[in-house]
Structure 1
């Protein structure tokens, strides 16, 4: 099974920020992003444009989520008590494809979804069939034996990229991970989420309701 590891700099230029945690931009890319960011700051932007940009940014960060997927998450968020924006982002972080990327088991969201679609991922020893599956505290992530060699290679590759590029990485405290057995237990919902650029969650909620 071929894994996708393509790095795209165009979204970084579009949103005026370095979006990918495990890849550092070249000097030329950084200059292009800075120039585009200055243009955005100088131009007058409507509320609709701000909401649209915020939604597109989050969609990009989480592997090109579709509008329908956002609306499904909003409906799920309404079932919980608390701030809608915080609950929405907590659900995004608890998606199984997002967790695979956070844990370095997959280098990209596309690679994570490929693993899931090929039925290589287990949660509590049951095959996961959907990338949108939401983890609950105590859930155990594991993999089919014939995939573990590739998963171990993914972990090593992403770790090496982070080390070489000297990118600041925040440890996911809501997991207990064993990289020897390639298993992880989801402990609790994340209370604080670190993003590579500023995000205004309320704008996204307004654009979807």
Structure 2
């Protein structure tokens, strides 16, 4: 799997472009950040075809870059967990209202309702429901590649905020400990902000999880 990271917008959100190793042109986007222009430039320069974008959750700093992606690739499929789906069209819930620029992405194409296995652009992921930062937060785990994309659930040395609407600290810690820290220790964690870390590193050093 080829993983390209883009750090986008004022909130320095990590957006990921994934494709199978080699010459594959179909790719998957995980989160679009606040401003997705560098991502779009990369896709066009490399003649890549984003077949889907999966959102780890529905906050504005992760979803606002969707509109230009849809403009350039009208057939792209958009996926989010059912518990966060309303955030796409609700500025209070997606936090854009507090910025003074209310934002509405339009509805998703694929509503994730359960933990199951999904294949995007030829890559298989197990969808883990990891609520707490938001009610519909998800993580995407590739067992074959030993990687998990966790959104704002877990960071290197920290955990996601839970003081936004729908946040629940106890639920978040339970999600992390039961869904993420139970993965193999060498699993690489790709968060919504900040650097890559590993399961074993967070088990041993994250002060919020001891």
Shared fold per TM-score greater than 0.5: no
Q: Which has the higher strand share?
A: 2
Q: Which has the higher helix share?
A: 1
